[in-house]
Structure 1
Amino acid sequence: MMNSMLWWFVRISVLLGVGTVGTVLPQPSPAGTGVLIAKQPSELFPLTIIHLNDFHARFEETNAFSTRCKPDEGERCIGGYARVVSRVKSLQREYADRNPVYLNAGDNFQGTLWYSLLRWNVTAHFLNMHPADVMTLGNHEFEHGIAGLVPFLDVIDSPVVVANIDDREEPTVQGKYTKSVVLERGGRKIGVVGVIHHLTNTMGMTERLRFLDEVEQLRLELDVLKASGVQHIIVLSHCGVEIDRKIARELPDVDVVVGGHSHTFLYNGTTDAFPDDAEDTYPIVVAHPDGRTTLIVQAASYAKYVGRITLYFDEMGNVREWEGNPEYLDETVPQDPEVLTQLVPWRELVNVQANRMVGYSAVMLDNSDCSRGECNFGNYITDGYIDYFATEGQKNPNPNQWTEVAIAFNTGGGMRTSLRAGNITFDDLVTAVPFEDTVDSFDLRGSDILDVLEYSASRYGTTDMMQMSGMRVTYDLSRPIGERVVSVALRCQYCQVPRYESLDPERIYRVATGTYIRNGGSGYTMIPQRATNLLVGPVDITVLERYVQKMTPVITGTEGRITVIGG
Structure 2
Amino acid sequence: MNYSKWARLILLISTLVFAASCSQVSKPGNTADLANDRREARFSILQVNDSYKIEGIENGSIGGFARLRTLRRQLQEGGEQVLLLHGGDFLFPSVMSKYLKADAMIKVLNLMDGNESAFDDNMMVVFGNHEFDDADPGVLLGRIAQSDFAWISSNTRYRSSEMAAGSPFSDRLSNVHDVLVKNINGVKVGLFGITLDFQKQSYVSFDYAPDLRRAAINKAIADLKAQGAAVIIALTHQDFDQDQWLAREFPDVNLVVGGHEHIYLEKRIGKTWITKADADNQSAVLHDVRVLADGAVETSHRKIDLDGKVEKDAQVDAEVGKQLAKLAEQIKKKNKDLNQVLGYSRYLLEGVEPAVRSRETALGDFLADVIRERMKADIAFTNGGGIRINDNIPPGPITVYDMEGLFYYDNELVSFELSGAQLLEVLKNSVSKSHLGNGRFLQVSGLRFKYRAKESNGVYSYAVEPADVEIKARGASVYTPLDTNKKYRVATIDFIWEKGFSDGYEIFSQGAGKSSPPRLDNGAAVSFRKTTEEAIDKLPNKTVTNRIEGRIIRQVQ
1:364-392 alpha-carbon deviations (Å, 9 max, x no partner) = 12355555553322211111223433xxx
Structure 1 residue aligned with 2:280, among 297, 302, 311? 302
Which residues in structure 2 correspond to 1:49-448 (within 5 Å)?
49-56=45-52, 58-60=53-55, 62=56, 66-69=57-60, 77-95=61-79, 98-110=80-92, 112-130=94-112, 133-145=123-135, 147=137, 149-165=140-156, 174-176=167-169, 177-197=176-196, 200-201=197-198, 204=199, 206=201, 209-210=205-206, 211-213=208-210, 217-265=216-264, 285-286=268-269, 288=270, 293-320=271-298, 322=300, 325-326=303-304, 328-330=306-308, 332-337=310-315, 340-341=318-319, 343-344=321-322, 346-350=324-328, 352=332, 353-366=337-350, 370-371=356-357, 373-389=359-375, 403=376, 405-415=377-387, 416-431=390-405, 433-446=406-419, 448=422
Please list every run of 5 or more consecutive structure 1 residues that lacks an aligned counterpart in the other structure: 1-40, 70-76, 266-278, 390-402
1: distance between equivalents of 2:200 and 2:222?
A: 31
Kept after mapping to 2: 8 A contact 1:385/1:439? no
1: distance between equivalents of 2:72 and 2:84?
A: 8
What residue number does 1:18 align with?
Answer: none
What residue number does 2:537 align with?
Answer: 549
Kept after mapping to 2: 8 A contact 1:440/1:536? no
Question: Which moved further from structure 2: 530-539 or 219-228?
Answer: 530-539
What residue number does 1:453 align with?
Answer: 427
Kept after mapping to 2: 8 A contact 1:354/1:427? yes
| Post-superposition offset of 1:102 | 1.9
Question: Which moved further from structure 2: 115-124 or 481-490?
Answer: 481-490
1:101-145 alpha-carbon deviations (Å, 9 max, x no partner) = 221111113464322322322223322344562211223323444
Partner AA of 1:441 in structure 2: V
How many positions carry a matched residue from both structures? 471
Kept after mapping to 2: 8 A contact 1:299/1:305? yes
Partner-residue secondary structure (3-state), 1:307: strand
What residue number does 1:519 align with?
Answer: 499
Assess, with a 3 A threshold, how the Cα gap between structure 1 residues 173 and 522 changes in structure 2: closer, same or farther: farther
1: distance between equivalents of 2:316 and 2:84?
A: 19
Assess, with a 3 A threshold, how the Cα gap between structure 1 residues 418 and 323 changes in structure 2: closer, same or farther: closer
Partner-residue secondary structure (3-state), 2:281: coil
1: distance between equivalents of 2:59 and 2:525?
A: 28
1: distance between equivalents of 2:362 and 2:292?
A: 52
What residue number does 2:28 align with?
Answer: none
Partner-residue secondary structure (3-state), 1:527: coil
| Post-superposition offset of 1:185 | 2.6
1: distance between equivalents of 2:143 and 2:190?
A: 24
2: distance between equivalents of 1:513 and 1:527?
A: 11
Partner-residue secondary structure (3-state), 1:326: strand
1: distance between equivalents of 2:391 and 2:103?
A: 24
| Post-superposition offset of 1:49 | 1.3
Partner-residue secondary structure (3-state), 2:150: coil
Assess, with a 3 A threshold, how the Cα gap between structure 1 residues 506 and 362 changes in structure 2: closer, same or farther: closer
1: distance between equivalents of 2:95 and 2:291?
A: 43
Assess, with a 3 A threshold, how the Cα gap between structure 1 residues 514 and 350 changes in structure 2: closer, same or farther: farther
How well do the aligned residues superpose, as a CA RMSD in angstroms? 3.8
2: distance between equivalents of 1:257 and 1:378?
A: 33
Using the aligned pairs only, state the percent identity: 21
Kept after mapping to 1: 8 A contact 2:358/2:431? no
Kept after mapping to 1: 8 A contact 2:152/2:177? yes
Partner AA of 1:135 in structure 2: V
Partner-residue secondary structure (3-state), 1:530: coil
Partner AA of 2:445 in structure 1: S
Kept after mapping to 2: 8 A contact 1:86/1:336? no
1: distance between equivalents of 2:325 and 2:108?
A: 13
What residue number does 2:446 align with?
Answer: 470
Assess, with a 3 A threshold, how the Cα gap between structure 1 residues 369 and 337 changes in structure 2: closer, same or farther: closer
Kept after mapping to 1: 8 A contact 2:451/2:462? no
2: distance between equivalents of 1:99 and 1:43?
A: 17
1:400-420 alpha-carbon deviations (Å, 9 max, x no partner) = xxx3x4432122333333332
2: distance between equivalents of 1:542 and 1:236?
A: 40
Assess, with a 3 A threshold, how the Cα gap between structure 1 residues 536 and 562 changes in structure 2: closer, same or farther: farther
Assess, with a 3 A threshold, how the Cα gap between structure 1 residues 412 and 338 changes in structure 2: closer, same or farther: closer
Kept after mapping to 2: 8 A contact 1:161/1:180? yes
Assess, with a 3 A threshold, how the Cα gap between structure 1 residues 155 and 509 changes in structure 2: closer, same or farther: same
1: distance between equivalents of 2:68 and 2:524?
A: 39
1:16-69 alpha-carbon deviations (Å, 9 max, x no partner) = xxxxxxxxxxxxxxxxxxxxxxxxx9931122212221211x222x4xxx2324
1: distance between equivalents of 2:394 and 2:111?
A: 33
| Post-superposition offset of 1:170 | 7.0
1:478-511 alpha-carbon deviations (Å, 9 max, x no partner) = 8x98974446555656xx7788775564747452
1: distance between equivalents of 2:318 and 2:166?
A: 33
Assess, with a 3 A threshold, how the Cα gap between structure 1 residues 407 and 232 changes in structure 2: closer, same or farther: same
Kept after mapping to 1: 8 A contact 2:157/2:167? no
Assess, with a 3 A threshold, how the Cα gap between structure 1 residues 434 and 249 changes in structure 2: closer, same or farther: farther
Partner AA of 1:384 in structure 2: V
2: distance between equivalents of 1:363 and 1:344?
A: 31
Assess, with a 3 A threshold, how the Cα gap between structure 1 residues 543 and 191 changes in structure 2: closer, same or farther: farther
Assess, with a 3 A threshold, how the Cα gap between structure 1 residues 483 and 364 changes in structure 2: closer, same or farther: closer
1: distance between equivalents of 2:284 and 2:450?
A: 41
1:327-362 alpha-carbon deviations (Å, 9 max, x no partner) = 635354242326514642552432643222122111
Partner-residue secondary structure (3-state), 2:382: strand
Kept after mapping to 2: 8 A contact 1:406/1:510? yes
TM-score normalized by the length of structure 1: 0.71
Which residues in structure 2 correspond to 1:485-496 (within 5 Å)?
485-486=466-467, 488=469
Partner AA of 2:362 in structure 1: N
Assess, with a 3 A threshold, how the Cα gap between structure 1 residues 329 and 91 changes in structure 2: closer, same or farther: farther
What residue number does 1:36 align with?
Answer: none
Please list every run of 5 or more consecutive structure 2 residues that lacks an aligned counterpart in the other structure: 1-36, 113-119, 170-175, 455-460, 510-514
Question: Which moved further from structure 2: 154-163 or 354-363?
Answer: 154-163
2: distance between equivalents of 1:531 and 1:166?
A: 36
Kept after mapping to 2: 8 A contact 1:116/1:434? no
| Post-superposition offset of 1:99 | 3.5
What residue number does 1:397 align with?
Answer: none
Partner AA of 2:347 in structure 1: V
1: distance between equivalents of 2:64 and 2:45?
A: 20
Assess, with a 3 A threshold, how the Cα gap between structure 1 residues 385 and 321 changes in structure 2: closer, same or farther: closer
Assess, with a 3 A threshold, how the Cα gap between structure 1 residues 483 and 299 changes in structure 2: closer, same or farther: closer
| Post-superposition offset of 1:314 | 1.6
What residue number does 1:14 align with?
Answer: none
Kept after mapping to 2: 8 A contact 1:120/1:151? no
Partner AA of 1:310 in structure 2: D
1:558 aligns with 2:548: yes
Partner AA of 2:54 in structure 1: F
2: distance between equivalents of 1:455 and 1:411?
A: 11
